[in-house]
Structure 1
Amino acid sequence: MNARFLFKSAFLKLAFPLVILALAALAAPERGSAQVLYGSIVGNVKDSTGATVPDAVVSIVQVETKRARQATTNEAGGYTFATIPSGTYILKVSKEGFSPFTENQVPVTINSVTRVDVTLKIGSVSQAVEVTAETALLQTDRSEVRAELTGMELRELPVPVRNYQSMFRMIPGFSVPTNEHSVPSNPSRALRYNVNGTSASSNNVRIDGASSYNIWLPHITAYVPPMEAIETVNVVTNSFDAEQGLAGGSAVNVQIKSGTNDFHGSAFEYHTDNALRARGFFLPTNQVKPKLVYNQFGGSIGGPIKKNKVFFFGDYEGTVDRRLADGRVSVPTLGMRNGDLTASPSRIFDPFTGNPDGSGKTEFTNKVIPSTSIDPIAQKILSFIPLPNLPVSGFVNDYYATGSYLFDRRAGDTKINWNATSKLNIYGRFSMMHFDLHSPLAFGDMGPILGSGGNPGTGWGNTYSYTIAGNYLLTPHMIVDAHFGWTRMDTNSEQPDLDRNIGRDVLGIPGTNGTRRFEGGWPRFQFPNNSFATFGATEGYMPYYRSDPQYQYVANLGWIKGAHNIRLGMDLYRQHLNHTQPEHYTETQPASGGFRFDRGPTTIPGQTDSDYNAFASFLVGAPANRGRILQVPDIYHTRTWSYSFYARDQWQLNRKLTLTYGTRYEYFPYPTRDTRGVERYDFATNKMLVCGIGSVPEDCGVSVSTTMFAPRFGFAYRATDTFVVRGGYGITNDPFNIARSLRANVPVLLPFIQTGPNSRVPVGHLQDGIPQIVVPDFSSGVASIAGNLGLNTTSTDFVRGYIQSWNVTLQKEFWKNLVGSVGYVATRQVKALGLLEQNYGFPGGGKTSQVLWSAFQRDADTQLVAPIGNSHYDSLQATLERRFSNGLQLNASYTWGKGIGIYNVRESTDSPAIKIPAFYTLNRAVFGFDRTHSFNLAGIYELPFGRLKKGGHNGLSNALTSGWQLNWLFSSYTGLPFGVSASGSGLNAPKNSQRADQVKPNVQKLGGIGDTPFYDPTAFAPVTAARFGTAGFNALRGPGLVNLDFGLFRDFRMTERLHMQFRAEVLNFSNTPHFANPRSDVSGSKFMIVDNVVNSGREPSGDERAFRFGLRLGF
């Protein structure tokens, strides 16, 4: 073990106790910085003539806990209370010769500034002025673009999946949040979203200061707290303050509730089932609605342990999900299994005849494959595949399968707050979630997954998160805060039959399976574009067993100096990946082995092909590729550090203008493994350098930037008491953890893939099996690598990109509680990270044209983690907000925007579709998540009848009319972009994607749904020549989306403090289908047909109308 590892080990051992000692005298927040966990109150004090009042005494008392602070106004009459806990405050101002002033109900939320300007009147102490009024909604002192979701909104609005992230659709600049990934990889069912045209990997979510970053899937979060646990969600989307780092799209801060001097609590249950759901639009008429029983239940309680000193809060939520999972998949008909392919629109050729370029093959007479040419292993596999059970024309979606789906999740949080002294405040929070899953497959123990579990078989695991945080008031003008945060995801998922080596022992295919349990089960037999259901193992990344912790050490100093609010801080952040998972980024087959059957081997050059050609390749045992992935160690690891420091000044230049300016410095060292460095591919020698072994340095000679400064600037100009002009500009360094892309390399994982010499020639016979994988010797630090083993690597000069964001926003208070804003919001992502294929082939050249073939006979994926290009986003964003008063709250938002970037790249683990530099500009396209217009409207309305309402009645009338409430969430979006794809057989350029030809100057929109096309399919044609098609990426737009979620609630007051609420919610009130884009494969049998609904993040309620009933008890 070298000196650097010894130093890191010693640092980790010392860092934890040092931070704990710091907390005892200071205490803590998170990755974006401490003020993020707290709020501020600022203001100016003047007299009735408008003159400033210096040296006035200003005091605040938190209503919930009686915690108090005091300050004096400066020479300009200004005052600031920084780093104060969220809550409601009483503010008092006194000065000799003036009447004392008191304002009650001053709200403070995390990561926000509340302004209270005070005018003192000449008078005596006995002539006190007391005000009980709501503070304006205006954002008067900060320049960022921000939004806030309150606990009331989350509790009272009909949120489709009872997940706070579903409400992000209400915030301008957010894409529609979508459900992503399997339950084991995403047990919290976190949603994925892009913000202001930036990568989905650049969003940063913190829970009470602890990062909720999902290290393995950085575009979603690790933990989603129960709705009952959340006090508020603060969201910043542009022009970040210097203390907010590692966030280029959005910085989201979730605050868990705290206890107060009064006991508060709740108990709840929510239920929906298939009887309360409408029929799905595409559910066959002869099929009943599949079973669904979904329940969420739990409660919360909080209160004092010792009045004014120690407080507690706890919550629990259980989720029970039972379904009859179902799905329609495509299986071959009986005639097809016997070789009868006469229904094929394309010709069928014998792949084991002809010339090396795929020409000259013998055609099967009348498109019938004789029994002597059918592969016996293919016949054996087909014996496990059921026959069609649906009357359809052809074979598409001709089999309907069902199975039992079970998902249980239990989540909870605990939090303790301690006002240790008048200067020291500490809190700690611990959260935990456990889940269990069983997800059925279409063909029993193999085949496609049914339902929404995402992974076949069983899953289980835990997620943990805790924060220890606090702040210490050194002087009335100086405060320090620090924190330690820790989050860990443990996730496990297994497919059926791991204890049987089916490929080797049942099917008799050489080279499949292995000696370890995770290499058991079915091999995979797959087809292009999901034309047929996958036979055998569904996924190439199963099974997996992951344990991914992350650690944060943060400290900050705040100093009020006259009109300046200065903050300094540092943030040390460490991420671990510890995985047993035979998976690689590049094209791979599973650990049990696999084969892919394409159209090309049973066609000839210049001929069109179809899905029948792919099945013919399977039937005769002619795979286009074969392989398996070998994980060498039982567990592999990565380790990543990041170091951040910042300085920021918020300067109240005068009563009307506040300037904020500062910078961050960030350093991202090259990642390592647990006992050595990672690996790097040497393009000059075709060797893998194993960092930290032999003479190879631990960083493999890779340089990373040491000058990553990120300046920020903003202003807020208070033109009048009701009108604010704001603007800001900032740079954020791309926070992506590149260890995610480098975790699975040779010699840790050996992704062996063999392909034919070109797309029209098979790699061999199915009966030949898979050649044995040779484990390279890397004891010298240099490992040989076979040409068919894929890899990811970096250059010796690694470049990390950055995101620029800016805005100019106008905000106006029209009348009491009604505020509108409109602004220009923009981002520029410069040198966005992604995976850039270096071993691409050229049109018509096949394997031998690949860049690394002539020198090393290398045809496997060779991807560089590097900048893939720039993107830009421009938008008009507007909001209109009416705070809850007189029984009504309204929130409206509108975005008119456009983002252009690299096609097929939504996050930092994606790769452009076309890799050849000469054609790279063809990738330039509108973002796939781009929606030109987005409008959302949310409302809460208490009906003006009954007790405590104006004109309320007594007796029976009061009992019938009191407590009714209407709630709604309305959304309207224009459609998503898509393009028309084509088979790459004619292109014959490995690693590149093909586009269709557009053969008509204008593409007519027909608007068909179901059996009729959405666009004119004759406007496009397949490309048989060795060139790229003319149809642009994302040149078309699919169906738009309109949705209304509606709730009718009734409150029953049982005592003065105890109340019960009955909730009836209707999700997708009008039962309007939200259609997905049409099928876009120009050669597909359903080209331009819309036959599915879009992913709009509504799992498990589904797309169709669903009623959800609930009962909530609160006190």
Structure 2
Amino acid sequence: MSKARSFIFGLVTLAVLSVQTVLFVPALKAQVLYGSVTGTVTDQSGAGVPKAHAVVTNRATGVAREADADDNGHYTITDVAPGEYDLKVTASGFKPLTQTSLTVGANTVTNGDTKLQVGAVSEQVTVEASVVNLQTEKSDVHTDLSEKAILNMPLNQYRNFQTLINLVPGATPGKFQNAIADTPERALSTNINGTNRNNNNTRVDGAADVFVWLPHHAVYIPPAETVQEVNISTNNFDPEQGMTGGAAITVITKSGTNQFHGVGFEYFQNQALRAKQFFETGPKGDSKLNDFGGTFGGPIKKDKLFFFGSYDGTYERDNRNTGLVTLPTAAIRAGDFSGILGDYVCTDGTTSAAPCAGTKTPVMVTDTNNVSQQDRVGMIFSPSTGTGAGTGRRQYAGNMLPTIDPIAAKIIALIPTLASGAPNTDNYSKSATQKLNRNNFDAKVDWNRTSRHGIFAKYSAMKSVFHGEPSLGQAIGDCACDGGLGDFHDLVQLVTVGHTWTLSPTLVVDGNVGFTRMSEYGQTPDFGKNIGSDVLGIPGTNNGSDLRSSGIPFFSVTGFADLGNPEGWNPAYRNDWSFTSSHNVRWSHGKHQISAGTDIVHHHLNHWQPELGSGPRGEFDFGGSTTALNGGATPNLFNAFAQFELGLFDGMGKSDQFIKATAKEWQFGWFVGDRYRITNKLTVTLGLRYEYYPLMTRDGAFKFDRYDFTTGNVLLGGIGSNPDHLGVTTSKKLFAPRVGFAYQINNGTVVRAGFGISVDPLPLARPLRGFYPLTVGSNFAGVNSFVPAGSFSTLAAPLPGGSLPVGIPPICCPDISSGTIPLPPQALERSVGPGELKRGYIESWNLVVERKLPANFFFSVGYVGTQTVHQFGDIDVNASLPGTGQAGQPFNTAKFSNRTASTLLWQGFLSSNYHSLQAAITRQFSKGLMVKGAYTYSKAINWTDDDGWAGLNWNDPNILRRNRAQAGFNTPQIFQLAYVYELPLGKGKPWVSGGGAATKILSGWQTSGTFSAVSGQPFGLTASGASLNAVDQTQTPDQVGPAKKLGGVGPGNPYYDAAAFAPVTRVGYGNVGRNPLLGPGAVNLDFSLFRTVNITERLGVQLRVDASNLFNSPHFNNPNGDITSGSFLEINSAKFDERQFRLGVRLAF
């Protein structure tokens, strides 16, 4: 190809990528796919060598990048693809010098300082590059995970590279969140440096990897065998990195090389290789997980065109006991509560095992046979007696119900029966089967079009089928699994195309265009049959011929196992996608490395999923106050079940979706930056980003919607005279400066510091997906907690205040033609207000000292902090104050049609902060040993833990600041230490290397492991809200003594002293705040032992055993924080991460 044709082709390529950016506006946060090599060429006296020429050559592909040094001997080679390189430096009058095996990582600056010797060009000098160098050119805080670490360190059961993000200072231990149905890739969620999990941004080969609806998840997880490197930047990001506030995670996948390479593998685990979970009773359930597949890559044309492909299949079957729950005993099923009576009750609100004495006055009650006696915990009172406020009620004689509602009896008949003599609580062991079939496919092509222009293209796909069985048979119940009820089909696709083009030795451009898509449909096990309306006979549950609302409703009885179908989010039909694009230019000019670029993101959400409120089949709640006495004992779980048997629910709701929920939104970013190497010891980084987040829009008849908090109407943008955005604006002032420095004190010590601002990238589709009129989520409640909201059927005896509605009252489909529609009083609503929607931003800072230690160890310690300003959150503006109930709700007036449903104002009005001491120790693989460790001592404070959906505990403006407390994810101390070690035995090693049988047997052995010691996380305490009588306000207990940590585990053995807390029987809040106590910490060791046997020079087989939680240390969940529960402050469950051995074989050439 002629130079002219080559140049024209390059221009066309650049133009195509640029046009894609402008026209398709696909998009991504800034790309940091490449690294750079920078250094100073000096002579033996330390003087700079002007005009020296530096070339780095990729050892696997032969691709070379070059640059000339300036008059001071300084050079920079940018846009270097991650990998292993040889660096050659030449200059007139000096011997050429070659550094071999120089490692270049993504988003890193590799030091290429060289010292030349005077001599002839023919006198070649070759040295081996250092395995790792001090970070002297950048001020960010980041962690790199190499291919060797990912393939050799223990990973979780799905072999997810995100397991190793635990090794990042400031990261809380990763955990699975949401159902397998939502995330069949089993993405892990983590909080970085005190920020919300939604603030993390993962990119795979430049493509934005985010699940738009659940943005704390990466939607595609590259299989471990395909990952070349992972770079995790957590503080003071480079200006190239935007639209992220927690961690910018850059994943680089493998490419083909000049040699053919391939891998075949299988990993296997089952119940025979698994220990029992701490609370598991009976025989272990069947479980099996197979992970198998292979990779193959190599040259299509050497030094020019390469390919890489992989397949990874995961097939899992799991049936296990997931813990104890409470089901009704034979007596309770028959309405007989005579055997559950507890302590006696006195007028000062205390209880005791004997009648009150001394200054305490017994609370006396009368039963339905006119017999007077002292009140006791667990007494069941007739709701048809007394007043509408719950006072003056009579206890059912003998604590036995005279009748059971016929519909409740039908539901009870579906519940599994217990063995004779079963205890009243924690009496049923849940178990169910889940099945996951998942297949991942990856293909990548790299083309070195010229020595100056490289192009790559990648396609990835994941297809899965998941099946989750119910835990209570015909009564359904929850899944008792990780996944969701029913059958779910998912397809995830990721495509990315990128290039880098060296226009001159000092000017480089790169660009990337990406696309990710997730489609999903799922159906419940009761799908297709209207059990609620046709079998049970409850009006208002199913929607006739619309099968999407078919099935059985959810019956939530406080303290008992879920009955019916509790998954209001299911079924779901989703089709979400994101376009991504980024274009950058870099100019090296003397001591300056100047960069500029643009990023664009476009998200598109398309959903049918009426999960708001109570789901499409309806929900009925039974809290217990309806069968309790106002002024008597606090209602408990038995009051709640008695209420259920009477067919009287204190809350009900249903969700219907009449319009498909859609959301389209753009995110734009521009940046300019300069990395200025002032001296050989001091480098300063300066940068400025500007980001713009226009308001989202919708497909269909209207473009946007919001609630008018002054009129009670919902306004629809673009209909009638309404403007598209209804007076809602977004900020155009989101400037994000970045500044930092790195100062090398001496050859072994560097000090770094930096400050930067980044913007919360939360997609608006998450909080504003579709309330009224897209989804009609209705919610009904009684006028106070003692008065039911409705009944299953007509009552035999009237209640004080008159008759009740039967079933769920219908709310019909809205008429949107006018653009202004009244909001039904029972329809849930979340909306922004008029004016500017304030988007949060994160300020981050760090001061770090790094020191090189003997034996190639590097240790760093520093102070790292963040502060979030204008953090997103909800406040319910229709919440009532203590003692006022529904009557006190601000919108419960004629003007607002006596509105009683939750009415959420969503805005950036909260804040959070984080301060930490962070330390890290690293040794890249050298002489058979790799070490990576991290320690964090920190505190995170916020108002709520999730800026995309969660609201406040207290919506009372008088005590709003009470929400500010230690974050639910706050983990005071985290220590993680991982290693990979080649045993020094056998061929080529120090010991037993002389040959013979012993050498053969002992050669090739390696071990690896990850040790962690983690503090417990906070948890909250709750109490009955009966006496509080305030809508959408959380009630907590009173603390009446020191909360002594007893450390107990299991039924009857509280972790904290329960006597330190008491129920609240007055009108007012308990004195306990948010997240007052810490749960149990955890210690864990994952361990691997493996051996590689070389069959030929290029072919080897690895046999390995992995043990997660080698010592089978139980990792307990937090104690039960509900004071109304019989297991208050007890730990009766643990994580399902008991010891599990996994066997593996890996063939590689």
TM-score by length of 1: 0.95
Instruction: Tell me by how many angstroms 1:652 deviates.
Output: 0.9
Match of 2:802 in 1: none
Q: Please, which runs of 5 or more residues in structure 1 have no aligned partner?
A: 1-14, 1095-1101
1:561 paired with 2:589, answer: yes
**Superposition pairs of residues 873-912 of structure 1, within 5 angstroms:** 873-902=914-943, 904-912=944-952
1:242 Cα deviation from its structure 2 partner: 1.0
Name the structure 1 match of 2:516.
487
C-alpha deviation, 1:221, in angstroms: 1.1
* Code of the aligned partner of 2:578: Q
**Cα deviation code 1:306-356 (max 9, x no counterpart):** 100010111111111112244443211121121111214322122234323
Task: Work out whether 1:976 is the aligned partner of 2:1017.
Answer: yes
2: CA distance, partners of 1:21 / 1:199: 33
Q: Deviations over 1:254-288 (max 9, x none)?
A: 1110111011111111111111111111112xx10
Q: Is the deviation greater in 448-457 or in 472-481?
A: 448-457
Is the 1:268–1:1113 Cα contact (8 Å) retained in structure 2? yes
Assess if the C-alpha contact under 8 Å between 2:193 and 2:865 holds in 1: yes
Aligned to 1:549: 577
Structure 2: which amino acid aligns with 1:99?
K
What's the counterpart of residue 153 of structure 1? 149
Report if aligned partners of 2:29, 2:580 keep a CA contact under 8 Å in 1: no
The answer for the alignment partner of 1:827 in structure 2 is 866
Q: Which residue of 44, 47, 59 corresponds with 2:55?
A: 59
Indicate the residue corresponding to 1:674 in structure 2.
699
In structure 1, C-alpha distance between the alignment counterparts of 2:587 and 2:420, rounded to whole Å: 72
- SS of equivalent residue, structure 2 residue 959: helix
CA spacing shift, 1:390–1:234, aligned 2, 3 Å? farther
SS of the residue aligned with 2:1101? strand
Q: Specify which of 810, 814, 824 is matched with residue 853 of structure 2.
A: 814
Give me the whole-angstrom Cα distance separating, in 2, the residues matched to 1:728 and 1:565: 18
In structure 1, the residue matched to 2:492 is 463
Which residue of structure 2 lines up, in the alignment, with residue 288 of structure 1? Answer: 283
The 5-angstrom pairing of residues 525-924 of structure 1 reads 525-528=555-558, 531-584=559-612, 588-607=613-632, 608-633=634-659, 635-675=660-700, 676-767=702-793, 768-796=806-834, 797-854=836-893, 855-856=895-896, 857-902=898-943, 904-924=944-964
Q: Which amino acid aligns with 2:312?
A: E
User: C-alpha distance in 1, partners of 2:259/2:37?
Assistant: 24
Per-residue deviation, 1:430: 0.5
Candidates 512, 522, 541, aligned match of 2:552: 522
SS of equivalent to 2:955 = coil
Separation in 1 of the partners of 2:83 and 2:36? 11
Alignment match, 1:363: 395
Could you tell me how far apart the structure 2 residues matched to 1:789 and 1:24 are? 41
Identity within the alignment, %: 39
Give the corresponding residue for 2:7: none
The number of residue pairs the alignment matches comes to 1079
Q: SS at the partner of 1:165?
A: helix
What are the residue-to-residue correspondences of 1:73-152 with 2, within 5 Å? 73-152=69-148
Q: Call closer, same or farther: CA 1:1104–1:772 in 2, change over 3 Å.
A: same
| 1:235 is the counterpart of 2:232 | yes
Contact 1:861 / 1:991 at 8 angstroms: preserved in 2?
Answer: yes
Q: What amino acid sits opposite 2:1148 in the alignment? A: G
Determine the structure 1 residue equivalent to 2:1148: 1114
The letter for the 2-side match of 1:556 is N
Greater alpha carbon shift after TM alignment, 360-369 vs 91-100: 360-369
Partner SS state of residue 728, structure 2: coil
Deviation of residue 877 (structure 1)? 0.6
- For the pair 1:297 / 2:289, whether they are aligned, the reply is no
Aligned to 1:220: 217
User: What's the CA shift for 1:927?
Assistant: 1.2
Distance in 2, matches of 1:667 and 1:296, equals 43
Per-residue deviation, 1:21: 6.2
What does residue 337 of structure 1 align with? 333
Name the CA distance, whole Å, in 2 between partners of 1:375 and 1:736: 47
Q: 1:133 to 1:21 in 2, by over 3 A?
A: closer
What is the CA deviation profile of residues 603-633 of structure 1, one whole-angstrom value per residue up to 9, with x for unaligned ones?
1322211111111111111111122111013
Write the distance in 2 (CA, Å) between the matches of 1:354 and 1:44. 89
Which stretch shows the higher mean deviation, 38-47 or 1085-1094?
1085-1094
Indicate yes or no: 2:416 matched with 1:386: yes
Alignment of 1:269-284 (within 5 A): 269-284=266-281
Deviations 1:700-756 (A, max 9, x none): 110111111011111111121221111110001111112211112111111111111
**Cα deviation per residue 1:373-415 (whole Å; 9 max; x = unaligned)?**
x211111111111112485421x23223444321111112110
Structure 2 Cα separation of the partners of residues 445 and 230 of structure 1: 45
Q: Deviations over 1:87-128 (max 9, x none)?
A: 111111111111212111111111111011111222111222
| CA displacement, residues 905-964 of structure 1 (integer Å, 9 cap, x when unaligned) | 244321111111111121121111112111111111111111111241212111211111
Show CA shifts across 1:972-1005 (max 9, x none). 01111123211111111111111111001x2111
Q: Which amino acid aligns with 1:595?
A: F
Residue 762 of structure 2: SS of its match in structure 1?
coil
Match runs of 1:198-213 below 5 Å: 198-213=195-210
Q: What TM-score, normalized by structure 2, do the two folds share?
A: 0.92
Which secondary structure does the structure 2 equivalent of 1:741 belong to? coil
* Residue 309 of structure 2 is aligned to residue 314 of structure 1: yes
| C-alpha contact 1:226 1:412 (8 A) present in aligned 2 | no
Structure 1 residues 171, 390: closer, same or farther in 2, change over 3 A?
Answer: farther
Q: Is the 8 A contact 1:738 1:865 kept in 2?
A: no
**Alignment partners' CA distance in 1, 2:18 and 2:867:** 42
Q: Which amino acid aligns with 2:63?
A: R
Counterpart in the other structure of 1:497: 526
Match of residue 989, structure 1, among 1030, 1038, 1049? 1030
Contact conserved, 2:416 with 2:473, CA < 8 A, in 1?
Answer: no
Amino acid at match of 1:998: Q
**How many Å apart are 1:1076 and its aligned residue?**
1.4
The one of 428, 436, 455 aligned to 1:407: 436
CA distance in 1, matches of 2:489, 2:1047: 44
- Does the residue aligned with 1:740 lie in a helix, a strand or coil? coil
| C-alpha separation in 2, matches of 1:953 and 1:390 | 70
Displacement of 1:243 in angstroms is: 0.9
Match of 2:457 among 428, 432, 443: 428
CA distance in 1, matches of 2:790, 2:855: 76
Does the CA contact (< 8 Å) of 2:392 and 2:629 recur in 1? Answer: yes
Q: Give how far 1:18 is off.
A: 6.4
State which drifts further: 429-438 or 739-748: 739-748
Shift of 1:32: 3.1
Q: Verify: 1:192 aligned to 2:151, yes or no.
A: no
In the aligned structure 2, how far is the partner of 1:665 from the partner of 1:19? Answer: 25
Give the C-alpha shift of residue 136 in structure 1.
Answer: 3.1
Does the CA contact (< 8 Å) of 1:603 and 1:609 recur in 2? yes
Q: 1:21 to 1:197 in 2, by over 3 A?
A: closer
Equivalent pair of 1:455/1:493 in contact (CA under 8 Å): no
Pairing 1:349–2:374 present: no
Q: Which amino acid in structure 2 is aligned with residue 1113 of structure 1?
A: L
Measured after TM superposition, the shift of residue 224 of structure 1 is 0.8
Distance (Å, rounded) in 2 between the aligned partners of 1:1080 and 1:468 = 51
Given that 1:389 and 1:398 are in contact with CA atoms closer than 8 Å, whether structure 2 keeps it comes out as no
My pick for the range that moved more, 385-394 or 318-327, is 385-394
Deviation at 1:360, TM superposition (A): 2.9
Of residues 324-333 and 486-495 in structure 1, the stretch that sits farther from structure 2 once superposed is 324-333
- The AA in structure 2 aligned to 1:841 is S
Moved more, 248-257 or 97-106: 97-106
